[in-house]
Chain A
Amino acid sequence: MPKWFTPAVLVCAVMFAVTPFVIANAPYESTMGLVQKVFYYHMPSAWVFLTASVVCGIASARFLASGDARHDRTALAAAEMAVLFGLITLVTGPLWARKAWGTWWIWDARITSSLVGWMIAWAYLILRQYGGPGSEKLAAGLALFGMANVPFIYVSVNYWRTIHPATTVVPKLPFSMGFPLLFCLASFYLLMFLLMKLRVRVAEQQARLDAIYLSLDEQA
């Protein structure tokens, strides 16, 4: 791993250790009270989920165009990020919704399309795991659909009837709420970058191991 990796991990760990204090100092929301503080982890997770889906799609497109295995490894790492942070979003959301809306789940545009996007990322990983030879390119094609779903997820709250807060909420946040959100967003994005770096390293070493085994088989 590069020399900057360990210091970056330490910075990320400190940032996450500080987030509870930053969030605790944020004011309560007038209608939802304490439970609204899930927002400071729920929204950054959602943003990282959408970003990872886009990264997976772009890397998959580059892999399909060039056949370069580095893009494939990046796409695989990004798909795992999408599944991980998508799961966090889809669990923290209902825990917040139960108190705020009186229901665990509602089949509105934003939540349903997010679930579909998460299932596409999940399908990418299952295809890579069990699809056999050639599954890299099939999964790359699937990742393009996942990326195409992202704009729909984002604008759904503005164009369809939904109980989910609209995209206008975040730009209108006062500083007392906006700063904790931005701090958590920075923490989550740094974490996503570091986890992707780690996961790509695992894939690189796995490829190197496979090449060594292949050369040993040829020599035998």
Chain B
Amino acid sequence: MRTSLRVIAVALFVVSGFGWIIEGPPSLMAQEQPKQQEEFTPIDQLPPQEQLPAAPLLVGAYAFVLLMLFGYMFIVSRRLTVIQDEVDRLDRETKRTG
């Protein structure tokens, strides 16, 4: 379980870094309330630096999901193998010593 906690902590660190890469240092504690709109502007009339692409966010989300799921499965499977091997070894020793 300690390894699982470490993996989750590392994953959180990686995701935070991903957030920084997308748009610089975000401030999670500050309430960024959406501003009230006074007019509608088509997206293609915004300067390029203000148009946020969706694809990196979407790909990042799916990549994170798969990373977490595969990571957890790998950790649990490896732990089960280690424990099972140890149980089998002790069973054999117990039977041998009577």
B contact residues, range: 35 or more
Q: Which of B8, B32, B61, B83 contacts A41 (CB 8 A)?
A: B61
A87 cross-chain contacts in B, Cβ below 8 A: 8, 11-12, 68
B68 and A198 form a contact (CB under 8 A): no
A96 touching B32 by the CB < 8 A rule? no
Taking the closest CB of chain A, its distance from the CB of B78, in whole angstroms, is 10
Q: Are A107 and B31 neighbours in the complex by a CB distance under 8 Å?
A: yes
Q: Identify B5's interface contact among A33, A106, A129, A206, CB under 8 A.
A: A129
Count of chain A residues near B, Cβ 8 A: 46
Inside 8 A of A137's CB, which chain B residues have their CB?
none
Given A202-B79, A205-B87, A88 and B34 touching (CB < 8 A)? no
Report Cα–Cα, A99/B55, bound state, in Å: 10
User: Taking CB as reference atom, which chain B residue is nearest A97?
Assistant: B57
Q: Which residues A166-203 have CB closer than 8 A to chain B?
A: 191, 195, 198-199, 201-202
Number of A-B residue pairs with CB-CB distance less than 8 Å in the complex they form: 110
Would B76 and A95 count as touching, CB distance under 8 A? no
Query: Which of these, B2, B19, B73, contacts A104 with CB under 8 Å?
Result: B19
Per-residue 0/1 for A140-163: is the Cβ within 8 Å of any B Cβ (1 yes, 0 no)? Answer: 000000000000000000000001
Q: What is the minimal beta-carbon distance from B54 to any residue of chain A, in angstroms?
A: 4
Q: Is B94 an interface residue (CB 8 A)?
A: yes
Whether, in the assembled complex, A42 has its beta carbon less than 8 Å from a beta carbon of chain B, the answer is yes
A129's nearest neighbour on chain B, judged by CB, is B1
B32 touches A106 (CB 8 A): yes
Q: What is B's interface to A at a CB cutoff of 8 Å?
A: 1-2, 4-5, 8, 11-12, 15, 19, 22-23, 26, 28, 31-34, 52, 54-55, 57-58, 60-62, 64-65, 68-69, 72-73, 76-77, 79-80, 83-84, 86-87, 90-91, 94
5 nearest interchain CB pairs? A35-B54, A103-B32, A34-B54, A92-B61, A95-B61
